[in-house]
Chain A
Amino acid sequence: MTAPLEVLILGWSLTFAQLLVGLAMACAACRILVGPRAQDRILGLDTFYVNAMLLLLTIGIRSGTTLYFEAALAIGLLGFSGTVALAKFLMRGEVIE
């Protein structure tokens, strides 16, 4: 049983795209681990979140349902509030004044 050409093309390019996004996440993770300073790690974390959102979008397209859309939105929100809190912490030494 072979899948039609269209499905093969989309399937393979989705796999390729997921590989690229995975590599991008690895780069961001590298920056989180290497640092050298706290702001570098936070920047890496922010990029990691954006890339995770992209990965969720590709998974959503592969599954063919819009369920993953909400998950992507939620991860974007979490990344935003997390990064803002950390940046605020760097600036003042406390999150909520």
Chain B
Amino acid sequence: MSTAPELPLWAALVVSALMVIGAAIALIGSVGLIRLNSFYARVHAPTLGATLGVGSLLIGSMICFSVLQSRPVVHEVLIALFVTITTPITLVLLARASLHRDRVEGNPEVPKSDHASLDRHDG
């Protein structure tokens, strides 16, 4: 198959495994986007790719470039940090926007107020 950088065997094996695992996790997350049957359940799916999927690929990339350039290459940490901070922001914003829309439309799937289940427990 086409080109790939020349790594020692152990590094090639580790990097290959991490690549395939990360990609598979991202695929499972995206499949969940299709298979789960309500919007709020679907919001959980992309976090798989954004946590372990990205993490696994980034560790693979770090190992690959550290071996290739024979010095520690750690700037992938930036992407990891960036993704862990931004993914929750987008998902929470999206969930809140959706909750707001559902409440305005009177959709019975969502609780009418934040305290619905607490009030039920108290009373």
B residues within 8 A CB of A5?
9
How many inter-chain contacts with C-beta < 8 Å in the A-B complex?
187
- Asked if A27 meets B57 with Cβ closer than 8 Å, knowing A12-B1, A80-B89, the reply is no
Among residues 1 to 57 in chain A, which have CB atoms less than 8 Å away from a CB atom of chain B? 4-18, 20-21, 23-25, 27-28, 30-31, 37, 39-40, 42-44, 46-47, 50-51, 53-54, 57
Interface residues of B in 85-123 (CB under 8 A from A): 86-87, 89-91, 93-94, 96-98, 100-101
Cβ–Cβ contact A13 & B20, under 8 A = yes
Once the chains bind, are A54 and B82 in contact (CB under 8 Å)?
no
Distance to closest chain A CB from B53 (angstroms):
7
Chain B residues in 8 Å Cβ range of A51: 26, 30, 49
**Chain B: number of interface residues, binned into ranges:** 35 or more
The 9 closest A-B pairs by CB, nearest first: A13-B16, A64-B5, A24-B30, A17-B23, A20-B23, A11-B4, A27-B30, A90-B97, A6-B12
Which B residues are closer than 8 A to A by beta carbons?
1-9, 11-13, 15-17, 19-20, 22-24, 26-27, 29-31, 33-34, 39, 42-43, 45-46, 49-50, 53-54, 57-58, 60-61, 64-65, 68, 73, 75-76, 78-79, 82-83, 86-87, 89-91, 93-94, 96-98, 100-101
13 additional contacts (CB under 8 A) given A24-B27, A54-B53: A5-B9, A6-B11, A8-B1, A10-B4, A10-B12, A11-B2, A15-B1, A27-B33, A51-B30, A62-B4, A66-B65, A80-B89, A87-B93
